[in-house]
Structure 1
Amino acid sequence: MRLSIVAVGRLKDGPERELYLKYAKRIDDAGRSVAIGPLTLSEIPEARQVSASQRRADEAGRLLQNAAGADSLILLEVGGKAFTSEAFARWLGTRRDDGQRHLAFLIGGPDGHGDSALERATLKFSLGPLTLPHGLARIVLAEQLYRAATILSGHPYHRA
């Protein structure tokens, strides 16, 4: 099952991008045995419209366009469903076992998600109640996807 992160904004070269790439590679390696991966990242520029609602609408359209073909759209949303790492792994495994071939995780811009993305979401997913910089949210998401793959494979990375 392929995984995609589609996000507004771009990770700059440096420690954030390197850490994201580290977990993306780990998913590719660890996920093979459990049919999860590869993980790809699509970055879209922030919208430049005057109003927040116009920016959200523009970004939502481009996020959806970049996630076209995904079986499920998972929006990172502060008010969304929070999982433990084990529950997230089970959720991911169930999607895989149900025959889904591609999941896309959407990270909106600073103004949040537009209505069109919110309406099409299969799941609104929260990494927790804290507000995270968008680059850090990508890294945390990538690490949790890697952790889920290791939980599903019985690898000792997750020791809870």
Structure 2
Amino acid sequence: MKITIACVGRAGRAKHDAAQSLIDDYRSRLPWPVVIREVEDRKSGGGAIERRAREAALLLTGLPKGAVIVALDEKGKSLTSRQFAETLAAWRDGGEQDVAFLIGGADGLDKAVLARARLVLSLSAMTWPHLLARVLLLEQLYRAWSLQTGHPYHRD
């Protein structure tokens, strides 16, 4: 399975950040290829609705054809780590080759993204900084892999 994380942000902003170190660590542990694609809305003007629509177009452009889209949203479904692992395994076993996780900007994700998502997922009832959301997602992907393979990282 190939993983894409498409997120709104500023490319290169966190090169020496502690969060970036954690992102790199979890990416290196995963056996699945992980592409992180940052997009930035460089247009000014307009309110939150216009900004979300522009960001949605940027996020959706360049996703692997036929990828399962997972939108990260605070109002999304909460899954346990085991349920998340089982969901990924079901997609894999069902022949899905690409899963794309989309993380919006400060105003959240546009309705067009939410409508295209097979799963709208909440990482927490709390709001997290976008870089930490990436860390949380990558850690959960690693945990899912460990659950699927019986690796001792996740203990019941």
TM-score, normalised on structure 2? 0.93
Aligned residues with identical type, % of pairs:
41
The whole-number CA distance in structure 1 between the counterparts of 2:41 and 2:74 is 19
Q: Give CA deviations for 1:13-49 in whole Å, capped at 9, x if unaligned.
A: 1211111010011013xxxxxxxx1111000114533
Equivalence for 2:153: 157
Which deviates the most, 61-70 or 143-152?
Answer: 61-70
Alignment size in residue pairs:
152
**Quick check: 1:70–1:104 contact (8 Å CA) kept in 2?**
no
Contact 1:85 1:144 in 2 (8 A): yes
**1:21 to 2:24 alignment:** yes
Listed one character per residue, the Cα deviations across residues 75-95 of structure 1 (whole Å, up to 9, x for unaligned) are 001010111111110111000
Partner of 2:119: 123
Residue number among 49, 55, 58 corresponding to 1:59 in the alignment:
55
Higher helix share: 1
In structure 2, the residue corresponding to 1:13 is in which secondary structure? Answer: coil
One-letter amino acid matched to 1:42: R
RMSD after superposition: 1.2
Distance change (3 Å), C-alpha of 1:67 and 1:49: farther
Check conservation: 1:7, 1:43, Cα contact below 8 A. yes
Partner Cα distance (2:107, 2:147) in 1? 34
Gaps of 5+ in 1: 29-36
**Normalising by the residue count of structure 1, what TM-score does the alignment of the two structures yield?**
0.91
